[in-house]
Copies of this chain bind each other. A is one copy, B any other.
Amino acid sequence: MNQYALILAGGSGTRFWPLSRDHRPKQLLNMFGEGTLLRQAIDRLDGLVPRQNIFILTNHLQEAEVRRQAHDIPVDNIISEPVRRDTAPAIALGIGLIKAADPHGVMLVIPSDQLIQDQDSFRTLMKAAMDTAAREKALVTVGIKPTWPCPSYGYIERGKEIHSAPGCSCREVIQFREKPDTATAAAYLSRGNFCWNAGMFVWSIPAVCEQLDKHCPELASFVEHVAESPAPQETIREEFPALTPVSIDFALMEHADRVLNMEATFDWDDVGSWISVANYLETHNKNTTNTDITVQDASGNIVFSQKGDKHVALLGVENLIVVETADAILIADKNKADEIKKIVNQLPDELR
């Protein structure tokens, strides 16, 4: 059983402006002093998937930086999507490339913009997931145990247990649930058998192709064309733009015959905003920061300096987000962290 991974690294992201830009979204930022999220995602596959079996999907704005950061991945394994077409076409593209390499392989699909620190647990669980995917001919999802009734995630309802080993709880999926309202999410949590859908999938090429044939003929045909093409890049450039933009959950997972869920035993953070980043910064006198600060009557502020070399003094201010880069400074009310995109929409092009 050959193992492959498809890393999705084409997401845009304006929530981390001014650190993030069109050409440098969240996954390409080093916010935690341990490499960028993309670099961490690649290194997390050490011992799980050989480098030459890792494929990375990105887009033209970010391609140069992705290639720089993923310098140890074969150049032909990094593909720039001709246009954005949501996750189902993107993942189908990866399936096609991997099928060309090994029509019997098992593959992981993982996002590149999540922070996972417990590498060992990640590898243990993913190994188990790949074994399960190969053995059960099922599409396997990885679920995150929810810690609060978050309304902006998708949820997965878990059913009958398939097998259980220490640190590995595998259950059948009853249903995918799209982003609920907070009350519904709270009900999910109280029922105890719901997890967050973290967008990580594990399957064998035969299993996923069979399901695509059955439920997504357009994508199944695209996968075949890519897999059999003598010039896959060209086939992608020609056919990809015509695919219907739809999420993999909606196109495939919700309809698939057999979907399993494995509960993550590792930590997980999708680092949705500066508020999340603050959890990983040092605390200094009731404020969190990655640079030297001096404070007077100031608390609850998040201060981030791109190079960490700017001294920031805070006087009589509370709950601000302060982010400094070579050309810009953001000062935002912490309660408006999700509205940073409103600012970005107003910016001159060269600052986006």
Question: Interface residues, chain A, CB within 8 Å of chain B?
Answer: 17-18, 292, 294, 296-297, 309-317, 320, 322, 324, 327-333, 335-336, 339-340, 342-343, 346-348, 351
Contacts and interface: CB of A to CB of B under 8 A. Distances in A.
Contacts of A331: 312-315, 317, 320, 322, 331
Given A324-B329, A331-B322, A347 B317 contact: no
List 9 A-B pairs, minimum CB-CB distance, nearest first: A316-B333, A315-B332, A316-B336, A311-B328, A313-B343, A312-B329, A313-B330, A294-B346, A296-B342
Query: What is the interface of chain A mostly: helix, strand, loop, or mixed?
Result: mixed
Contact of A296 (B320, B324, B346, B351): B346
A330 B315 contact: yes
Nearest to A330: B313
Nearest to A329: B312
Q: How many copies does the complex hold?
A: 2
A320 B316 CA distance: 9
Contacts of A313: 17-18, 328-332, 343, 347
Contact of A343 (B18, B296, B342): B296
A296 B17 CA distance: 14
B315 A340 contact: yes
A328 B322 CA distance: 13
A327 B310 CA distance: 5
Nearest to A335: B316
A328 B309 CA distance: 9
Contacts of A343: 294, 296, 313, 315
A89 to B, nearest CB: 34
A300 to B, nearest CB: 13
23 contacts: A18-B311, A18-B313, A296-B339, A296-B342, A296-B343, A309-B327, A310-B329, A311-B327, A311-B328, A311-B348, A312-B330, A313-B329, A313-B343, A314-B331, A314-B332, A315-B340, A315-B343, A316-B333, A316-B335, A316-B339, A317-B331, A317-B332, A331-B331
Contacts of A335: 316
